[in-house]
Amino acid sequence: MLYAAFEVTWAAAGITVPWKEHSSYAPAVQLLLAALAVLAGGACLASTRTLARPGRAVVATVLVVTIPVFVVGTNGLPIYFVTLVTLSGFESTTGLTQVLLNTVGAALLLLVGLSYRRRLRGDCPRCGRPHAGTSDGPLAHPAVSPAPKRTRTAVYLLMCGLLPWAGVKTIWTLGGDALGVSADAWQRTTSLGASGPAKAAAAAGIDVTVLAAMVGVFLLLGLLYTWGQVFPRWTLVLSGRRVPRLLPLIPALLTGIPLTMYGAVLVIMAPLIATGVLPPIEPSAPFTTSSGITWMVEFGGLAFAGLGIGLVVAARSYAARTHPVCTGATATARPE
């Protein structure tokens, strides 16, 4: 209802809400989003009740339709994260609010959908296992364990997608030339409107977007290894305590899914531009050629998609390895 109120208010007042650069939501789209939010809220309420088959089908359909809409609306979250972390500011308060509303809505709807699916299967809506009794008792946590070798190998390969993108940016910040872009042109362009910390990092040869990507890599490694489940010694006061399960999972999924979508679009778009299927991108400062900016689009796509898919894969493994169960849950496997 809060989401719907924002959308209706913005549409009625004619307030611009950007959804990508140089593009904004049309009032009709905002009203449609408001209607979908109301439907999603109704489905959430109905999912807690015992429904006949037609009612269950309606609830499932509403969730299946609305969840992807909210997930797509989170697409700008990584960009806003980078601008906030680097103190670079952001262009639109309404745009940031819209992304945050979509993010919260997507997260809540995913949790409702998961709980609803468990109830339909006769499982505990909290732990997902079949057992007698209530679902509000104590939880039993599994032993600490790293991700399987196959998962770690897959994630490492996906992380390699960062190398071309980060390498080119590092060359520019260290004073070298690449893709037809000189270091001076790159530094002049990136220094416009940059914050003090961003300029200080550039002076040390560190690009702030590469630094933000390293934060994502740090999160990713925590999902793969045991120090992401129990706080290590260097965390001082927290050392030895269990890491709250949702602490790494929520940022990993909320960052990984939008990064995956954004990166996949770039990976597909660059070859289509290079082969003439799509029109070439007009070069803008600091780029001097269409081929240079096309290569950078491809490098960015490999980086974002690689990091995004890596986060999703690692988060899936982490969720399975850390999944607690109610102490009353039966260990008996479900018959096929």
CA distances for 279 relative to 12, 126, 263, 271, 330, angstroms: 37, 50, 19, 11, 59
**Is the model's pLDDT at 141 over the cut of 90?**
no
Residues 6+ apart with CB under 8 A from 22: none
> What pLDDT shows up at residue 332?
42
**pLDDT mean over 80-106:** 77
**Contact in structure between 317 and 148 (CB atoms under 8 Å):** yes
Going by pLDDT thresholds of 50, 70 and 90, the confidence category of residue 328 is low
Which residue would you say has higher pLDDT here, 130 or 330? Answer: 130
By CB neighbour count within 10 A (0-12 exposed, 13-18 middle, 19+ buried), where does 215 fall? middle
Going by pLDDT thresholds of 50, 70 and 90, the confidence category of residue 229 is very high
**Is the model's pLDDT at 36 over the cut of 90?**
yes
Distance CA 213, CA 190 (A): 17
The whole-chain average pLDDT of the chain stands at 84
**pLDDT mean over 2-9:** 93
Express each pLDDT in 169-207 by its tens digit. 888 888 888 888 888 888 777 765 554 455 555 555 566
Q: Is the dihedral of CA 253, 255, 260, 261 positive or negative?
A: positive
**Is the model's pLDDT at 146 over the cut of 90?**
yes
> What pLDDT shows up at residue 201?
53
The residue type at 7: E
Q: How many CA atoms lie within 13 A of 48 on its CB side?
A: 7
- Give per-residue burial for 24-40: e unless 16+ CB within 10 Å, then b: bbebeebbebbebbebb
Which residue would you say has higher pLDDT here, 328 or 1? Answer: 1
Which residue would you say has higher pLDDT here, 2 or 23? Answer: 2
Highest mean pLDDT among 117-131, 132-146, 165-179: 165-179
Distance CA 254, CA 110 (A): 11
- Give per-residue burial for 234-245: e unless 16+ CB within 10 Å, then b: eeeeeeeeebeb
> What pLDDT shows up at residue 333?
38
Which residue would you say has higher pLDDT here, 197 or 81? Answer: 81
Express each pLDDT in 283-319 by its tens digit. 887 888 888 889 999 999 999 999 999 999 999 999 9
Distance CA 109, CA 12 (A): 26
> What percent of the chain is predicted at pLDDT more than 70?
86
